[in-house]
Amino acid sequence: MEMGTVAWISLVIIVTVFCPSSLALTLDGMTLLEIKSTLNDTKNVLSNWQQFDESHCAWTGISCHPGDEQRVRSINLPYMQLGGIISPSIGKLSRLQRLALHQNSLHGTIPNELTNCTELRALYLRGNYFQGGIPSNIGNLSYLNILDLSSNSLKGAIPSSIGRLSHLQIMNLSTNFFSGEIPDIGVLSTFDKNSFVGNVDLCGRQVQKPCRTSLGFPVVLPHAESDEAAVPTKRPSHYMKGVLIGAMAILGLALVIILSFLWTRLLSKKERAAKRYTEVKKQADPKATGTKLITFHGDLPYTSSEIIEKLESLDEEDIVGSGGFGTVYRMVMNDCGTFAVKQIDRSCEGSDQVFERELEILGSINHINLVNLRGYCRLPSSRLLIYDYLAIGSLDDLLHENTRQRQLLNWSDRLKIALGSAQGLAYLHHECSPKVVHCNIKSSNILLDENMEPHISDFGLAKLLVDEEAHVTTVVAGTFGYLAPEYLQSGRATEKSDVYSFGVLLLELVTGKRPTDPSFVKRGLNVVGWMNTLLRENRLEDVVDKRCTDADAGTLEVILELAARCTDGNADDRPSMNQVLQLLEQEVMSPCPSEFYESHSDH
Ligand SMILES: Nc1ncnc2c1ncn2[C@@H]1O[C@H](COP(=O)(O)OP(=O)(O)OP(=O)(O)O)[C@@H](O)[C@H]1O
């Protein structure tokens, strides 16, 4: 045999013996490996993405089109702690319909090549660190149904080609750094401010914020409501636009002159300072430069300087409590309006801009069972959150502190507190966009007003202050005794870990005992284990708080059953907060409403 033939045969043998399957991988399989190579897979979730395994359709997170040469249909890898970047190779997966990589730690830009995946229907990249802009030819994804790029660091203009995506039904671009005018064109005209919230530099009709020219005059005025909202909006020609801008500039200039005249003559310094979202720079005190006050839920009826003066004068006598995030003060205004001020101890690793943008979202949340965030003040030496003041204090105080003459919580108060807290939490989980996982549900975060209506406090703070960098809560922020086992283990908070804490709260309401009460801790149990033991022994009467004499067996059983389901060791078996709420409304509040409201009217 010739030498050349021998070498050739040896090569064939080596290739077949040592890498038999790599030859069998299809183009999509090879592409997935290229994608894996730019991902930082800290948890090793992609361990079965191997070049020797030709069945790439069975790899973690991958599904393929049925019976179609193993073409990849979806990549589903949310909450996997993946870092790194999305490889431009993604564009080779031309049959890809769903890409879900939300709540990871991906960075870099969204590759332009992604727009080669022209069959894409759902794109979820929420909660990462993507920078740069949206690919300008995103309009090529003509089947796109869902586009969720919220909570990243994307910037630049919103490409008008999105307007061409006539199948787009859900679009969330909130909490980024997008800027400029939102094109009022095609399908883009059909989305309202919820799709754009948390991008302070965006303007346009959808966010009801007029855009300004370089001279500072508004050029986009809110459109009148019309049936044309769903069809592409006709835009004025450049010539007309020029004339319009010119005319408005002259008008605007005249207006500014008149206004500044009136301004200096008629308005006092104080009134000027009261403007919302005003950066307040105190001229008299150069140290105070950079002081900033932002108010939410409409203006507070005080000038900025009044508020800042009050904030600066808070001292030890005003302290009402302190917690993991800092000290809480009571601030009383001259007209006796009272607020709670939380001074944040933690240093903020992220930029003030990111922090304030996220706060703006929290400030926009409004529900009867949540404590209103009314404002934020950045002083040179501290950062302060301003909340509505809840006079009765916390549920923790009412249940466990006997120092002051406190009223006893009867059974119907406790049911009302359970129901209201469930309503507040269900709102955070199911009605807010982006949804808010509380991470620290406990009795000291349930504050009560004079009507015993509960208000959940501190929502959103855990994510904002504990783990600003990661966009997902990977550090345990909650309080021992209330924490779900999987949250303790993985450090990853979810709605279901909030449900667990809510279950513990229910037990606390029933038993009147803290979840870490020594009577069961010394027996090696937590409140959940203790309750289960008593229930097994059919000792219901020992479970109920002795001070609570009006508890009826029917509602008690429902609450205990619900608490048991909420504190199930397996997070998947716990109900959602909407289910919890439904059950409470049906089983606890409906059967005998007259009884409930009669006893409630005692307050
Ligand atoms: N809006 C408010 N109105 C009235 N009192 C408040 C208000 N917010 C907080 N407090 C009081 O301040 C105390 C401390 O609150 P804070 O939320 O800082 O700590 P915590 O709830 O005990 O712990 P954590 O920081 O873990 O949530 C509360 O127990 C409560 O009594």
Cβ contact 308:298 at 8 Å: no
Measured between alpha carbons, how far is residue 536 from residues 268, 530, 531, 551 in Å?
71, 10, 9, 20
The answer on 130 and 108 residing in a single domain is yes
Q: What is the CATH number of the domain that holds 178?
A: 3.80.10.10
Beta strand 177-181 with 201-203 is: parallel
**212 within domain boundaries:** no
Take atom 26 of ligand 1 and give the residue whose Cα is closest: 324
d(CA 441, CA 371) in angstroms, rounded, equals 13
At residue 222, the pLDDT reads: 34
Among 203, 232, 248, give the residue marking a domain's end: 203
For 61-85, the pLDDT digits (tens) are 898 887 767 899 889 887 777 889 9
Do 431 and 531 belong together in one domain? yes
**pLDDT > 90: percent of the chain:** 36
- The DSSP symbol for 57 reads G
Question: Considering only 525-529, 586-590, 594-598, which range has the smallest mean pLDDT?
Answer: 594-598
The answer to whether position 567 is within a domain reads yes
* Residue for token pair 């090529």: 140
Q: Of the given ranges (159-168, 418-427, 475-484), which has the lowest mean pLDDT?
A: 475-484
Give Cβ neighbours of residue 289 (< 8 Å, ≥ 6 apart).
281, 282, 380
Let me know whether 453 and 518 are in one domain: yes
How many domains is the chain built from?
Answer: 3
What's the 406 CA to ligand 1 centre distance in angstroms? 17
Is the domain of 87 the same as that of 135?
Answer: yes
Alpha-helical runs (H) found in 193-350: 238-266, 269-273, 304-312
Q: Would you say residue 563 has pLDDT above 90?
A: yes
| Domain co-membership, 462 together with 505 | yes
Pocket test for ligand 1, best of 331, 457, 480 (most atoms within 8 A of CB): 457
The pLDDT of residue 347 is 58
Task: Name the residue with the closest Cα to ligand 1, atom 9.
Answer: 328
On whether both 423 and 457 belong to a single domain, the answer is: yes
228 lies in a domain?
Answer: no
Per the domain annotation, does 3 fall within a domain? no
270-300 pLDDT per residue, tens: 444 333 333 333 333 434 456 888 888 666 7
Mean pLDDT, residues 428-444 taken together: 92
Q: How far is the CA of 344 from the centre of ligand 1 (A)?
A: 12
pLDDT at 475: 45
pLDDT value of position 325: 78
Q: Does a structural domain hold residue 258?
A: no
Residue 248 lies in a domain: no
Asked, for residue 221, whether it belongs to a domain, the answer is no
Residue nearest to atom 1 of ligand 1 (CA): 389
> How many residues comprise the chain?
603
pLDDT in tens, 318-357: 999 888 778 999 999 999 999 999 998 755 555 677 778 7
Domain boundary (366, 388, 410) is at 388
139 touches ligand 1 (CB under 6 Å): no
What's the domain range around 112? 27-203
Judge if the beta carbon of residue 327 lies within 6 A of ligand 1. Answer: no
- pTM reported for the whole predicted model: 0.55
Last residue of a domain, one of 203, 221, 249: 203
- 443 alpha carbon to ligand 1 midpoint, in Å? 10
Residue 447 in contact with ligand 1 by CB distance below 6 A: yes
pLDDT at 261: 67
Is 570 in the same domain as 519? yes
Confidence at residue 103, expressed as pLDDT on a 0 to 100 scale: 72
Residues 382 and 399 in one domain: no
Q: Is 546 annotated as a binding residue?
A: no
Mean pLDDT of the chain: 79
Q: Does 479 lie in the same domain as 359?
A: no
pLDDT at 65: 85
For ligand 1, whether the C-beta of 482 sits within 6 Å is: no
Kindly provide the ipTM of the predicted complex, given to two decimals: 0.97
Kindly state the average pLDDT of the residues 542-571: 90
Q: Give yes or no for residue 343 CB within 6 A of ligand 1.
A: no
284 in any annotated domain: no
3-state secondary structure of 355: helix
Q: What are phi and psi of 26, to 5 degrees?
A: -80, 175
Going by pLDDT thresholds of 50, 70 and 90, the confidence category of residue 243 is low
Q: Are 321 and 389 in contact (CB under 8 A)?
A: no
372 lines ligand 1 (CB under 6 A): no
Pocket test for ligand 1, best of 297, 342, 444 (most atoms within 8 A of CB): 444
pLDDT beyond 90 at 269: no
